[in-house]
């Protein structure tokens, strides 16, 4: 469908609704203090617009709910597994389809089988859980983003790409035998939800062929990536998004997916590959930690909903609305002088808090301070990606400034309408005028590992 109107037409009707958490500013002030300025500690019912994550927070369709009712809950050989397997095989072309309860379970199983001390995994950028699972085996996770990815202000069509020359240099330095896998994360979540071009995927594929290194996709947001290729890459405008997605998979030796994103479900994931030796090892761990081969930590109904979601997500009317919604939010923020990673990503917008709040020094957590103000003034919940999340500390135990201070506004799929997004822009416009009054924060207490989830903070003096 051609779309030239300014209004975003959500391409669905709403059949079931949930009330938003409407609170007063005074209630939010109390909630924020009780949560120790950590938004992970806020009860969701006290949040008006929840942009903490796009993971597992989407709305399922009537067809998916229908699938839930006919899910086959047999322990072994459930019909729902075969529907799930057939759908994934058809899309990805991989022979071995292993269900898992979410993305990180696939990472744990895969890297447990192939990584380990002395090994390196190379990537455009590892997502946090991917990195953590690589490092847990004793291996090192190496990121090779392109240079333009780090210039937040200047737009470029494929800031998710890998720097192929830098990757090759690294392979030559460390030896291909020490690099069991190359992972391309599509879209690149850690650096702004930016897409990877088909050309870059092909270049990485060729590099991997040359050195005998398998290439996998971390394909949580594969449909958004494919749609960006259609929109932005020369030669793809006329190709159906499903075919673009199939070609992305064709370039890879395997993939894993957190289905909580582009499979439009609330829980689930898979690992899919051709290598029989790796899949046999992965299945051993699967049975040990997730469940039997035909359910892998999921209920039959979940498998059914994933199979349906993987088809629905490639509807181009849906993708048009999805990508347009994120762009609309990004454009709205830029209009009010709020700096973002430009262009906006597929699953949301990343606000550059370092640039927005230059009066707050990194040790006083500018991105966390902005996220808290956004909640206090508008009941909106985003997530800090900065000094608190990266959590690196000096010898004195003090937090060291992270290279970036971002607030990610991730948009749940099929949940909010254009008027909700207009409201978010309005709150930002209001905040932009008063940003000098936003105060930094200081730590009250913080654990050593993953401090952002449970740290306690207070307003800095």
Nearer to ligand F0G, 424 or 443 (CB): 424
For the record, the structure tokens of 145 come out as 């983003």
CB of 282 to ligand F0G, least distance (A): 16
**Catalytic annotation present for 127:** yes
* Catalytic annotation, pick one of 36, 128, 174, 315: 128
Residue 249 has, within 13 A of its CA and on its CB side, a CA count of: 27
> How far is residue 190's CA from residue 122's CA, in Å, rounded to a whole number?
15
Catalytic residue among 101, 230, 354, 452: 452
List CB contacts of 49: < 8 A, sequence separation 6 or more. 20, 378, 379, 380, 381, 416, 420, 423, 424
The question of whether 302 is a catalytic residue gets the answer no
Distances (CA, A) of 211 to 123, 208, 214: 15, 5, 9
13 exposure class (CB count in 10 Å sphere: 0-12, 13-18, 19+): exposed
Q: Which residue is at the shortest CB distance from ligand F0G?
A: 103
Residues 225 and 232: beta-carbon distance below 8 Å: no
In angstroms, what is the minimal distance from the CB of 416 to ligand F0G?
16
Residue pair 230/244 in contact (Cβ under 8 Å)? The answer is yes
Q: 72 or 224, CB closer to ligand F0G?
A: 224
Question: Using CB atoms within 10 A of its CB, is residue 451 exposed (0-12), middle (13-18) or buried (19+)?
Answer: buried
347 given a catalytic annotation: no
Residue 128 falls in the annotated catalytic set: yes
Measured from the CB of residue 352, what is the shortest distance to ligand F0G in angstroms? 18
Looking at 84, 127, 222, 249, which residue is catalytic?
127
In angstroms, what is the minimal distance from the CB of 15 to ligand F0G?
26
Q: Which is nearer to ligand F0G, 55 or 137 (by Cβ)?
A: 55
* Alpha-carbon span 162 to 143, nearest angstrom: 8
- What lies within 8 Å, CB to CB, of 60 at 6+ separation is 68, 264, 265, 266, 305, 309
To ligand F0G, the closest distance from the beta carbon of 347 in angstroms equals 8
Catalytic-residue membership of 220: yes
Residues linked to residue 182 through DSSP beta bridges, in sequence order: 122, 215
Beta carbon nearer to ligand F0G, 55 or 352: 55
Q: Of the listed 101, 230, 261, 435, which one is catalytic?
A: 261
Interface ranges with ligand F0G (CB under 6 A): 53, 55, 102-104, 127, 129-130, 185, 189, 218, 220, 258, 260, 269
Nearer Cβ to ligand F0G, position 38 or 364? 38
Q: Minimum Å distance from CB 55 to ligand F0G?
A: 4
Q: Which is nearer to ligand F0G, 131 or 283 (CB)?
A: 131
Catalytic positions are 75, 127-128, 218, 220, 261, 452
């Amino acid at each position: 469908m051609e779309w030239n109107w300014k209004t975003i037409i959500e391409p669905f009707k709403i059949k079931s609704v949930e009330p938003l958490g409407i609170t007063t500013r005074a209630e939010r002030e109390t909630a924020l203090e009780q949560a120790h300025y950590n938004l992970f500690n806020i009860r969701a019912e006290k949040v008006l617009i929840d942009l903490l994550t796009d993971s597992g927070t989407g709305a399922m369709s009537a067809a998916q709910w229908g699938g839930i009712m006919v899910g086959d809950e047999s322990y072994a050989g459930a019909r729902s597994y075969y529907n799930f397997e057939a759908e994934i095989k058809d899309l990805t072309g991989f022979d071995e389809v292993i269900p898992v309860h979410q993305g990180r379970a696939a990472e744990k199983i895969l890297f447990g089988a192939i990584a380990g001390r002395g090994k390196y995994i190379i990537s455009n950028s590892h997502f946090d859980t991917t990195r953590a699972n690589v490092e847990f085996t004793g291996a090192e996770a190496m990121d090779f983003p392109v240079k333009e990815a780090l210039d937040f202000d200047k737009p470029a069509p494929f800031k998710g790409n890998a720097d192929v020359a830098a990757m090759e240099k690294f392979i030559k330095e460390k030896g291909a035998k020490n690099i069991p896998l190359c992972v391309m994360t599509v879209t690149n979540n850690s650096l702004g939800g930016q897409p990877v071009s088909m050309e870059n995927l092909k270049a990485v594929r060729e590099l991997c062929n040359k050195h005998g290194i398998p290439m996998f996709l971390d394909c949580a947001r594969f449909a958004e990536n494919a749609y960006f290729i259609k929109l932005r890459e020369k030669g793809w405008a006329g190709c159906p998004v499903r075919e673009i997605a199939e070609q992305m998979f064709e370039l890879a030796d395997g993939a894993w997916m957190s289905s909580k994103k582009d499979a439009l479900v609330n829980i689930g994931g898979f690992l899919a590959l051709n290598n029989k030796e790796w899949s046999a090892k992965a299945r051993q761990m699967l049975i040990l930690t997730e469940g039997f081969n035909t359910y892998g930590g999921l209920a039959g109904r979940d498998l059914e909903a994933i199979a349906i979601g993987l088809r629905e997500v490639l509807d181009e009317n849906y993708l048009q609305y999805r990508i347009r919604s994120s762009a609309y939010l990004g454009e709205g923020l830029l209009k009010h002088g709020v700096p973002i990673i430009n262009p906006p990503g597929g699953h949301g917008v990343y606000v550059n808090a370092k640039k927005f709040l230059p009066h707050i020094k990194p040790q006083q957590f500018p991105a966390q301070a902005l996220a808290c103000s956004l909640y206090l003034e508008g009941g909106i919940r985003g997530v800090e990606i900065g000094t608190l999340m990266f959590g690196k500390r000096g010898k004195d135990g003090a937090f060291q400034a992270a290279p970036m201070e971002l607030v990610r506004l991730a948009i749940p799929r099929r949940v909010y309408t254009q008027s909700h997004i207009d409201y978010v822009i309005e709150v930002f416009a209001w905040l932009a005028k008063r940003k000098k009054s936003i105060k930094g924060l200081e730590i009250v207490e913080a654990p050593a590992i993953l401090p952002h989830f449970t740290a306690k903070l207070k307003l800095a003096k």
